Structures are given as C-alpha cells and as structure tokens.
Amino acid sequence: MKIVIIGGVAAGMSTAARLRRLDEQAQIVVLERGEHVSFANCGLPYHIGGQIKGRESLLLHTPASLKSLLNLDVRTGHEVTGIDRAGKVVQVRAAPDGRTYAEPYDKLVLCPGAQPLRPPLLGIEHAAVLTLRNVADMDAIKARVDGGAKRAVVIGAGFIGLEMVESLHARGLAVEVVELQSQVLPPLDHEMARFVEDHLRQKGVTAHLGTSVTGFRDAQGAVMVDLQNGTVLTADLAILAVGVKPDTALAKVAGLAVGPQGGIHVDACLCTSDPDIYAAGDAIEGPSRVRAGDWCTPLAGPANRQGRTVADNLAGRRTPWGGTLGTAIVKAFNICAASTGMNEKSLQRDGVAYRKVYVHAGHHAGYYPGAELLHLKVLFAPDTGRLLGAQAVGGAGVDKRIDVLATALTAGMSVFDLQHLELAYAPQFGSAKDPVNMAGFIGANLLNGDLEPWYAEDYPAAREDGIIVDVRPKADYEAAHVPGARHVPLPELRARLGELPADKTIYLYCKIGFRSYLAMRILTQRGFKVRSLAGGFDTFRAWHGGATA
C-alpha cells in the first residue's frame, strides 16, 4: 500500500510515524512544501525571544533522520498543486528547480495545517508587517529584532499574540498590543482575562482593546498602525496574530467537502468525503467533546493525536477520533492563563444552561512560602452538575488545575465528584482542600441550595431591590468596596442582626466568597433573604474593571 501524506509537521509526521510502526511494508511518502519537517511550531516565539537559544533545537527531524529511523520518504520543498481523485494521483512541484511530477497514491492524507489570517487592510504588504507560522516567518521576525527594532505592535491578543508580546519584550522592545475584542485572550471570559490585562500593564505593555487596525502606513521604513479609535502607533515591527484559518485550498480544488466552520469535513474516523483521503490537524473541522457540531480546533495536541488516529484507520483498525476539548494554555511574563471546554460566552451563544463558581486561592498551602494566587472559574450543568468548562489564571499550578479539570471533563464528572478528588497534598504542591476541591464544594453547595449566589453582573441592579452588605474586615472595606455597600464585619454579624432588613434581599459579599457564605448561612437560618456574591470582591473588580467606591 502506498500512502501519500501532504504536510510534514504535527499531524502529518504523527500519521507517518505511527503508520510505519503499524505497517513496516507500506510505502510512505511525505510531501512538505516548507523547508522543514517536524519542527517545533509552538517554540517559534521563544527563539525570537531568546529563551530558546539554538535554532536547531526547534528542528526535531530531517528527511535523513526520518529515513534512517522510520524508513520514510520525506520530501521537503515539495508542494502539492492538485489532486486527481479519480486517477488517485497528486501533482507535485519541487523546489528549488520547479520541476513538476505526479505521485500516485492508494490513500492520501491531508495535513496542510492552517494559515495565519491576513485581513485585506490598506498597507498590509508593508515589509515590517509579519506573521508567525513557520521557521521562515520566525527567521524574518528575528532578523528585524536582531537588526535593532525598538518598538513593536502585536495585533491580536490571543495565545500566540501574547507569546509574541512576552518574547519581544524580553528582547528589550517596547510592545503594544491591539485586540478587536474588549479583552485580551478571547478564549477566556472577560473577567478572567482581566487578571492578565492587569499583569501586562504592570509589565509596561499597553493593550489597546476593543479597537481594530484600519491600515498600515510607511514611516521611513518603520510602520504606522492606524487604529479605528483614532490612535496611531508607530513601530519597527508589527506582528499580525489575529488568528488562523484552515488551509483548505487543495481540498476545495479537489472537490472535497468543507464544513460550515471552514475546515475540511471529516467523519468520525477522520476520513474526508473521499473514502481514500483522510485529513488531520489544523485544517480539519471535527467533533468537540463538549459542544454539538463540528469545530476547528487548531491545537498541537489534538493534531498529533489525530495523526495517530488516521494511521490506525489506514492500517485497517477502525478508530474513531473522540473529539477535542479545546484545552489551551499560555504564559505571558509571570502569569499563566488556561482553559478547557466551554467558556461562559460560548455557553450563552449556544443557549446551553449553566451555573458557575469562582475560586481565588493560593496554588499551595498559604503557610508555606511562595504560594501564588490562582483564579479559577468552573462552569457546569444546573441539573446534574456535570462539568462544561473551566478557566484558570495565575502563576504556578494553573496548568495542573486545568489538566485535572480537563480529565474530569473528559470523564463526564460533576462538581459533586470534584469535591472528593484526592489530589496530592504536601505544602509545596497544594492544600488539603485543593482549589479544585473548593470549586466542587461551592458548586455542590450551590446545587444543593446551601448557597444562593449573586453575581458581579447583577450589580447595580442588586442595589435597587435590596441592600448590599460587605462582611470583610474594616480595613478592607475602607480601602475599596462596592459602591453603596454597608459594612458589617462577619464577627459582628450575629450581634447586629437588628440592623438588617427582614423584608429585603441582603446581597452579601466578602473578598473571595467564603466569609459571605458563612454570613449567608448565619442569616438564612434566621429567616433573612440572603445571597452571597460569587467570587467575592475579587471577581467583582475583575468583572467591572476596578469600578469601586
């Protein structure tokens, strides 16, 4: 059997390697249009930033090493220009001589990846406006930085955008970032992203949020970036990181089905609309583990594991692809942000009912030095408590909590289950009641009716139909509080019941939602109508962007 694989990075190389292990006799040809195969895509920003010193450490394999280890026929600089599905032949153009040839296949695998979006903006062809997707892109950006660039604008505050912000900042550039949405990291909900925005500000990075780029102009070799809000930024370098789109050019020309999200359509086993052509990686549109319909999820982990799945199917083992969660993580300076599953925005968009809880806690026991603050948001079904998604922002330990929650989500666990996850505890690593357990406790209290929450978004409406009461210590209240809130510190509450109205809803809050929960339990059992602010003042401030009295 002869297998031709188009694309030799994550999905393509995983397909080839796994297929060789399953079938020593198969003829396996990998056609890669770029100069490199199997390079570390996710490392590109860090060679620019200098964290990864050696360029060669990103180049994990060569055609020679793949021939020697896996007996693969890997051809770089070979671009497929057409697919003759009836004849089962691909047309190839080989660089550098431009020679063309036809390569027959028994089975074809499409792993062309995704292309960075380049909106048709005025002046986008300016030499200082660059994207980052492959080694050549990296080299071009690095050359500008090495050449003395002092100011950079990063357009797009998604995961790759923020990695570029950090890397350019690490090289001493003054960096500004522009994002169309009114928050950084659109995969997160805005109140979670706010912690990242605060951190960027502390690092001296200006974020222009809720505005778009209208065009680029030359300024003696530098580039002027015009924003819709009228701001003009000038930089030696502008990085376009506004997203990627599946590379479906070949698939479309060949008449293969493309899905509504714009990715190559695949069935449960990653086969395209042609039974002899499979597809994997960033170019496809496939099932989600948490969301109805097919989605494009351009992530390295799924791409690698999809390649493996395609190989299993090619080897005659019917192996469905289970779908993606969309688990992703980014580090920017000293802050990490990660998410898995659905966020609140997407749940609302899809019309899915949900509840939510927030945890603000140290990433390990507070009595051991070095605990870093962790902000966690968990979304779950209102009836069963089944997990729908989670987001975490903080320093150390963000990745661990999201990985635990991604595993729990995959297993179909609920917030009730989270309560009793037995996670490893020593004071350097966690707490006897880990933040994940805490999310479970709060979620279970909420579903059991022990906790009646109110949310940051209920303000200022909450002021109208009730009173807001701050139960934090006096100093905290005096430093900042929700506008209009009265102050009754928790330890005085039992003695000051007379000050509280019996006929109005009492909207309690504290710093993170624990003391106000205690207060709520005290008052509820005495007949008061009470709610406790989810996530406390920490979430309130994040939600409202620091609007406090």
Report the distance separating Cα 410 and Cα 413, nearest Å.
8
How far, rounded to the nearest angstrom, does the alpha carbon of residue 44 sit from its chain's CA centroid?
Answer: 17
**Alpha carbon distances (Å) from 136 to 75, 132, 142, 543:** 17, 8, 10, 40
Of 108, 97, 90, the C-alpha closest to 27 is 108
Report the distance separating Cα 256 and Cα 261, nearest Å.
14
Single out the residue of 123, 243, 427, 545 in contact with its own copies (rule: CB under 8 A).
427
Single out the residue of 5, 6, 10, 184 in contact with its own copies (rule: CB under 8 A).
10
Q: Which x/- pattern, by CB under 8 A, does the window 488-527 give for its own copies?
A: --xx--x--------------------x-xx--xx--xx-
Q: State yes or no: residue 354 binds its own copies (CB under 8 A).
A: no
Which lies closer to its own copies via its Cβ, residue 279 or residue 523?
A: 523
Q: State yes or no: residue 324 binds its own copies (CB under 8 A).
A: yes
The one segment of 19-27, 181-189, 233-241, 262-270 that binds its own copies by CB under 8 A: 19-27
Report the distance separating Cα 369 and Cα 181, nearest Å.
37
Pairing state between β 107-110 and 277-279: parallel
Q: State yes or no: residue 475 binds its own copies (CB under 8 A).
A: no
Q: State yes or no: residue 240 binds its own copies (CB under 8 A).
A: no
Q: What totals of helices (H) and strands (E) does the chain contain, helices first?
A: 16, 31
How far, rounded to the nearest angstrom, does the alpha carbon of residue 546 sit from its chain's CA centroid?
Answer: 25
Q: State yes or no: residue 428 binds its own copies (CB under 8 A).
A: yes
- Which of the residues 29 through 58 are near its own copies (CB under 8 A)? 40, 42-43, 46, 51-53, 57-58
Q: State yes or no: residue 348 binds its own copies (CB under 8 A).
A: no
Single out the residue of 62, 76, 234, 407 in contact with its own copies (rule: CB under 8 A).
407
**Alpha carbon distances (Å) from 202 to 132, 196, 199, 207:** 26, 10, 5, 11
- Which of the residues 129 through 188 are near its own copies (CB under 8 A)? 159, 163
Which lies closer to its own copies via its Cβ, residue 272 or residue 304?
A: 304
**Taking a C-beta distance cutoff of 8 angstroms, is the pair 504, 465 a contact?**
yes
Q: State yes or no: residue 299 binds its own copies (CB under 8 A).
A: yes
Of 159, 160, 166, the C-alpha closest to 130 is 160
Single out the residue of 283, 328, 439, 447 in contact with its own copies (rule: CB under 8 A).
328
Single out the residue of 329, 381, 467, 480 in contact with its own copies (rule: CB under 8 A).
329
Which lies closer to its own copies via its Cβ, residue 159 or residue 195?
A: 159
Q: State yes or no: residue 411 binds its own copies (CB under 8 A).
A: yes
Q: State yes or no: residue 454 binds its own copies (CB under 8 A).
A: no
- Tracing tokens 């079904």 back to the chain, one arrives at 381
Starting at the earlier edge strand, list the strands of the sheet with 174-179.
129-130, 237-240, 151-155, 174-179, 206-209
- Nearest distance, CB of residue 391 and its own copies, angstroms: 11
Report the distance separating Cα 107 and Cα 29, nearest Å.
11
Single out the residue of 450, 452, 458, 476 in contact with its own copies (rule: CB under 8 A).
450
Residue 42 annotated to the active site: yes
Which lies closer to its own copies via its Cβ, residue 220 or residue 525?
A: 525
The DSSP string of 11-56 is: HHHHHHHHHHHH-TT-EEEEEESSS-SSB-GGGHHHHHTTSS--GG
Which residues are registered as beta bridge partners of 336? 331, 394
Single out the residue of 420, 474, 496, 504 in contact with its own copies (rule: CB under 8 A).
420
Single out the residue of 134, 167, 248, 340 in contact with its own copies (rule: CB under 8 A).
340
- Nearest distance, CB of residue 44 and its own copies, angstroms: 10
Of the candidates 42, 111, 269, 336, the residue annotated as catalytic is 42
Single out the residue of 174, 421, 467, 480 in contact with its own copies (rule: CB under 8 A).
421
Active-site residues: which are they? 42
